[in-house]
Structure 1
Amino acid sequence: MVKTPKKSKAPQRKTTKPKKPAKSVAKSSAAPRGFLARQRLRVLRLVFGVCLLGFIWILAYSFIPIPTTPYMMSERRENGDIDYQWVPLESMAPVLARAVVAAEDANFCTHWGFDLNAIRAAIDDGSGRGASTITQQVVKNAFLWHGRSWPRKALEAIVTPIVELTWTKRRILEVYLNIAEFDQGIFGAEAAARAYFGVGPEELTAQQAAQLAAVLPAPKLRNAGRPGPFVRRRAAQIVDGAATIQADGRSGCFED
């Protein structure tokens, strides 16, 4: 019987696996990208949260009485106390609303927060005086701080259209008449009417209302109760202006 020779096994060669690239290099380049992405996401979430809270704040002030403002808090810290009491617009004499609009923003009912004609006129005069609308002043007084810095002006430009879109014109004027400063530490029509004339804001005459409106651009320098020559002249102009906007319909957006 012939035996078949057994096949000899070939010596197995050890196969070397291809070396993988070092992970440390890949990880080191990916780590900064991942960290920056997470930081950007955090910043975006923070910005979104701040914007959402700001929008809720604006909406809330469209119907609740304003408890205080940043400027009121600043005046309280400096002077110790302020005189402020919220009253609804229907508890103020209509002549006051007309006088203030005639004095501060005659086109209040026709613009969307910015009076472009007043801005162009102010630019032609080489001054920003008289270009700020009642809505802009409400935004500055209710939500921002006083001053002429660019960040505040930028925020004012952003918030003003939002207020115009979410508030009624009547509400904007109501807030303005309540939080405007009429003398040092005297805020709003209620406090001003009683301080200057000893009556409630619902009892103001057209002349008294005009004198209050005349002091608004410089409340710490002018006195509505003891008006000087300038305030008397300005009040006479305001009386005429208030009658004009009533006659031509420019007071229609806030009249009952």
Structure 2
Amino acid sequence: MNKFLSFFASILTYTTFAQAGLTVSPGKLYFYDNNNLPQTQKVSITNPTNKILEIGVSINDWNYDKIGSNHIADFNTLEESCSTWIQILPNTFFTIEPNSTKDVEVVLTNPNNTNPNNPVHTSMLFFTQLNPGDSVDEKGASIKVTVRMGVKVYHAKQETEGEIAIVDFRPKKDEKNNKSVELEFSNSGKIWTEGKIIWSIFNYKTGKTTELSEEEFYTLPKDTRIVTKALDPNLTAGQYTISAQILYGKNETIQLAEMDFEI
């Protein structure tokens, strides 16, 4: 007899899960202040399976935690929430025929009494498959798969350029004497801002610059990030400069932090 298991997948990007699931596009919706008039955007939900899917739509709050991961919260509980501004049309429950796509409208109406200290508001739409699909795991056991897809909603008072400010760049050492550096920066602007950090080390003895791995980041206004980069324990004795170059925004604005150290 096959062993039946229950599995739940929560995915926040445009993707397909196994043979039972759905895809949602786009994964992010961006709204800007429109003088308190309703704004509408469409989300397309595709059923790639051979069975009818029952889909339910729910709304949650979200923001980023201190390390930049998604933090999902209950409806209308976060200070920057715009969940109460959103309406899903034609309704929050529908079915999709096999191998077909259905569009829903996301209507956002921002009120007059928004807090001027919150230039950005967010929400998360979840599209959940309510009738679990059949699949198999790696060992061939039968499983029931329910897929939930998340679409992030952003609202800003105006479309503007982001601002990232470097707060600190400091050395760090753990209890095992492993050395690293910490880059602390903040979103000092009035818009969501994403980018990447490009790391490199210059060796004064050899005159060689070594490029390290890049890291992506995502922020909302007022967010602070601390990114740690471990130093290679096999660095030879000598003097070095480690550089952290932050590139962000549509124009790839650059912020640079450097630190000299000696091994």
Q: TM-score range by the shorter chain?
A: under 0.3
Question: Would you tell me which structure has more strand in proportion to its own residues?
Answer: 2
The structure whose residues are more often helix, as a share, is 1
Greater Cα radius of gyration, structure 1 or 2: 1
Q: TM-score, normalised by structure 2?
A: 0.21
Give the number of the structure with larger relative contact order, counting CA–CA contacts within 8 Å between residues 6 or more apart: 1
